[in-house]
Amino acid sequence: MKIFVLGSFASSLSNFRGKLLAALSNAGAELHLAAPDLLSDAATLQALAALGGRRHDIPLMRTGMNPLQDGGTLLAAVRLLHQVKPTHFLGYSIKPAIYGTLAAWLAGVPRRTVLITGLGYAFSGRATGLRGMLQHMLRLLYRLALSRATCVIFQNPDDRALFIQLRLVDPSKTAVVNGSGIPLDDFPQRPLPPPAQCHFLLIARLLRDKGINEYIEAARNIRRRYPQAVFHLAGWIDSNPAAIAESDLQSWIADGVIVYHGRLADVRPVLAACHVYVLPSYREGTPRTVLEAMATGRPVITTDAPGCRETVVDGDNGFLVPIADAAALAVAMERFLDDPSLIPRMGQRSREIAQEKYDVHAVNAAMLNHMGVLA
């Protein structure tokens, strides 16, 4: 059994798929791992060293749709897969799912699995202008690629339903798992900070579709009336078309609206230092940072959006708010400021739900089954 895994970020192989790769290795698979610039990422190579197998670079531009570049990705993937001759292929995120699956089909790989981890920029918000054209092209490409997949795994039922409704995938070849799961031992429950202040935290790429602007607006509103409220933001600006402007970020920092932590290699210290985790995203697969916060024992405020709503039972381990509604977000935050006793109670429920629903070992067992790795 030889399994080829393709991602669009080198670091995502260890940070988001590390436990899955270990489960595949423990099942007796020879692993071949590929991502752009993987061989020059020393930290990721070190993190993956214990898995054995082989590492491969592949030319892939994570964002944008350049036919020449994407065609080059497809051809390079076909050549590499012909050389490796894997029995199984797994592609996750947009371009690996599309071009990797087409390449695996062209190379004759018997089992071709796609993991839909989220729908991204082109499926979020209203599709007009350039965004509408991009969405139309992506749907065509998804339909073409997923018709060549042997299994398509979604991380929430809403994404599966949308792909079926749009006729992008045959329902008979789909499955749903509970996100990527969370390694509970790596994210133990942590005691809450002292109650004198209330620390809110958001960790995300700094994109409009993550609800960054709503978080800032709610923070401005609350800070006028609750001096004990502190708002933390961790993440980075990348090349995504929905990225916020660097000037806006610097303005928020200068005005004291947020405490900015930048891009963190390890989010556990900031999770332990917060009281409430916030993710006002417009759409997710299943948000990893929410699972990490739940495992840490923190209540969660998130949106009633696909991928997000599955993580919170409203009023039990946190609150659900409408998408793009800064006023409703502020009201949810105020509930914790007005009644701090909610924090330990809801935080405990978050930990319990993480244990019951999102244990990474249970999620990975389901993944291996859907991939055809387990008999």
pLDDT on residue 74: 97
Can you name the residues that pair with 200 across neighbouring β-strands? 231, 276
Rounded CA separation 75/81 (Å): 10
Amino acid occupying residue 105: W
Among left, alpha and beta (phi > 0; psi -120 to 50; other), residue 342 is alpha
> DSSP letter string over 58-69?
----SSS--HHH
At the topology level, CATH places domain 198-357 in Rossmann fold (3.40.50)
Q: Per-residue confidence at 136, pLDDT binned at 50, 70, 90?
A: confident
Residues of the chain with CATH 3.40.50.2000: 2-181+359-371, 198-357
- Report the pLDDT value the prediction gives residue 125, as an integer from 0 to 100: 54
Fold adopted by 2-181+359-371? Rossmann fold (3.40.50)
Tell me what pLDDT residue 375 has.
57
Please compute the mean of the pLDDT values over residues 301-327 and round it to a whole number.
97
Q: Could you tell me where the DSSP H helices lie in the chain?
A: 10-15, 18-26, 42-48, 67-84, 94-95, 101-106, 129-146, 157-165, 212-223, 246-255, 268-272, 288-296, 326-338, 342-357, 360-371
Average confidence (pLDDT) over 338-343: 98
Q: Which amino acid is at 1?
A: M
344: left (phi over 0), alpha (psi -120 to 50) or beta: alpha
Q: Quick one: pLDDT at residue 293?
A: 98
Write down how long the chain is. 375
Residue 96 CA to residue 91 CA, distance in Å, equals 5
pTM: 0.91
Q: Residue 241 has what pLDDT?
A: 76
CA angle 80, 85, 89 (to 5 degrees): 80
Is 188's pLDDT higher than 80? yes
pLDDT at site 331: 98
pLDDT tens profile 191-249: 999 999 999 999 999 999 999 999 999 999 999 999 999 999 999 997 777 899 999 99
Short-list 321, 323, 316, 352, CA closest to 334: 321
Q: How high does pLDDT run on average in the chain?
A: 94
pLDDT of 122? 60
300: which strand partners? Answer: 277, 318
What integer pLDDT is reported at residue 240 of this predicted model? 77
Tens of pLDDT, residue by residue over 100-135, are 999 999 999 999 999 999 886 567 556 667 777 888
Contact 200, 275 (CB under 8 A): yes
The percent of residues in the chain predicted with pLDDT above 90, rounded, is 88
| 62-86 tens-digit pLDDT | 777 788 899 999 999 999 999 999 9
Q: Which residues neighbour 345 within 8 Å (Cβ) at sequence distance 6 or greater?
A: none
pLDDT at 312 over 60: yes
* Cβ pair 144, 101 in contact under 8 A: no
β-partners of residue 202 are 233
Which amino acid does the sequence have at 348? Q
Confidence of residue 9 (pLDDT cuts 50, 70, 90): very high
Contact 3, 29 (CB under 8 A): yes
Distance CA 299, CA 21 (A): 30
The type of residue at 27 is A
Confidence of residue 311 (pLDDT cuts 50, 70, 90): very high
Q: Does the pLDDT value for residue 10 go beyond 60?
A: yes
Comparing 2-11, 134-143, 314-323, the range with the smallest average pLDDT is 134-143
